[in-house]
Amino acid sequence: MDRVGVGKEMNFLDLKFFILFMWVLVMTACIFIIFVIAPISKFQIDQNDSLSFLKTSFIQATLAVIIVGILIIVLNKFKKVYLLKKLSGKKNG
């Protein structure tokens, strides 16, 4: 009876750590976008040139989309690994 309780607790902890890891990845990406990509416009040479502002905005948007795309791919991979681990554990257990 103790073994069943321990198994359920371990599964719950695994899920907690999985969700915590996912949130850490999401928050890291958000912090990077806010504090690294957003201030890129401060480094423009000519602040009054609208074409330069447009180029900088395009670069910022492209980098943000790339980071979000990478985040989606990484989260999807970890989700698949987690699910395969859980499904293979249920077959063996």
User: What single-letter DSSP state applies at residue 38?
Assistant: G
User: What single-letter DSSP state applies at residue 1?
Assistant: -
H/E segment holding residue 77:
helix 50-92
Q: Identify the weakest region by mean pLDDT among 20-24, 33-37, 74-78, 80-84.
A: 80-84
CB of 82 closer than 8 Å to CB of 36: no
- Across 4-27, average pLDDT: 77
Q: What is the pLDDT of residue 8?
A: 59
Q: What is the pLDDT of residue 83?
A: 87
Tell me which residue range forms the domain holding 43. 2-92
- Total domains in the fold of the chain: 1
SS3 66: helix
pTM of the predicted protein model = 0.73
Under the banding of pLDDT at 50, 70 and 90, the label for residue 2 is very low
CB of 59 closer than 8 Å to CB of 40: yes
